[in-house]
Structure 1
């Protein structure tokens, strides 16, 4: 069984065929999915999908792209939303200095509020980072000194130093279809060195479809291709990779019930 640890089932590319997406995922051996919140004003839609399906969970958060409009200065709203039984993570949050859709100071402020929510609730922090390795690592370390919190770097495409810094804080690293891309040799080298007990897999659907599905709308069923590549890099059987990443998911996302998978 595989778990898609990060997808966006509420995005129109997937929500238009919700039943089909979930059926294809089940057929591909995907037992559960974590659908990620990116805006608070759209969170009800994210939560509703999770409520309709036993093997779908959700997170609550504000993507760094949205920090200008919805950035959180306090963890209060996140903590309140996290009381719902289906909310098992905080985020996605973090820093994106590639697009800079929101001012960097507002991204950082919101990031810290999400960390406070993760610390308060005990739910894992889901971190997005792009072109901000040093700053992301520094904020995580500064905040961790104030009090520990669980978390992961999602859709990892950063350098080896951020991987090292995150792992040293006890965080997990989630690998997406990027690992199958032709130009991703640096990422593949890092994945080889990440301890198996700290790896998760994800689609980030509807984005980043893996080889051989490049150019198509990504969906949870396609996670099998990413898992196969990670298993190849780790020189283990796919079944061992599936078992490890599923165990890792439930070890990190302790609020999720494995009995709900199907």
Structure 2
């Protein structure tokens, strides 16, 4: 029997949605989604670029409201579409006022949608963009822990801003490396899934000072709304689960993850 669905909680303290894909949302008008997102006290939303085809769309979305921001980068699934021209576009806009990071970049050996050597080359090239533009990075790593650690190690001294390994589902080795290097780990609705004890183990291990909240919507809808398209306004359920797993007061989790988000993406605030 599925869990009874309940109203989305609204916290007194604002929260920040650090990773979603607004251009992928299909179930309702975007204006309605954004209105509901603001209605649950989400102060900022970062919508994430993943392919050559949506770099410009993400920039457009970042302009539709003062509280929406974006990134520029190519996901490992689309690494074979990376080119000198794409790199010029990312470099040209990585420093835009409403662009807060280079991402989503990294390695994915689970789906292997792109040749692994090309994935590694494209990952390195985009990490270099982040170094050159003093931007944090949003990293995707799946079934590629060793290579992710090795490549990040090449940039330890030059990538000053660090960033986040988002939707963290990797093992404790990558988690320890990232945390020791000052990275944040991003957690989403997976933390609420019955069979995701491995992810909850990493939540327990990670200091609350290095955790970010995200939905990765429209994917990975949290309990109790699994089966529906995910959206940024479900983020409060992730905050509640993090507090439960870490046995911390909810207010502490909300306040600290908010500060972590500012420190990572909005250092001037």
Q: Give TM-score scaled by structure 1 length.
A: 0.92
Contact conserved, 1:72 with 1:113, CA < 8 A, in 2?
no
Query: CA 1:147/1:198 → structure 2, altered by over 3 Å: closer, same or farther?
Result: closer
Structure 1 residue aligned with 2:31? 19
Structure 1 residues 67-82: aligned runs within 5 Å? 67-70=79-82, 76-82=88-94
The 10-residue stretch of structure 1 (180-189 or 41-50) with the greater mean CA deviation from structure 2: 41-50
Structure 1 residue aligned with 2:182? 170
1:8 pairs with 21, 25, 30, which one?
Answer: 21
For residues 189 and 75 of structure 2, the distance between their equivalents in structure 1, rounded to whole angstroms, comes to: 20
Structure 2 residue runs without a partner (length 5+): 1-13
Contact conserved, 2:52 with 2:86, CA < 8 A, in 1?
no
Structure 1 residue aligned with 2:234? 222
Structure 1 residue runs without a partner (length 5+): none
Structure 1 residue aligned with 2:117? 105
For residues 211 and 112 of structure 1, the distance between their equivalents in structure 2, rounded to whole angstroms, comes to: 36
For residues 72 and 88 of structure 1, the distance between their equivalents in structure 2, rounded to whole angstroms, comes to: 22
After TM superposition, give the deviation of residue 155 of structure 1 in Å.
0.5
Cα RMSD, aligned residues only: 1.8
Structure 1 residue aligned with 2:148? 136
Number of aligned residues: 256
Structure 1 residue aligned with 2:250? 238
After TM superposition, give the deviation of residue 193 of structure 1 in Å.
1.5
Contact conserved, 1:75 with 1:116, CA < 8 A, in 2?
no
Secondary structure of 2:79 counterpart: helix
Q: Give TM-score scaled by structure 2 length.
A: 0.90
1:124-183 Cα distance to aligned partner (Å, 9 max, x none): 110001111111111111222455441110010111110001112111111111011000
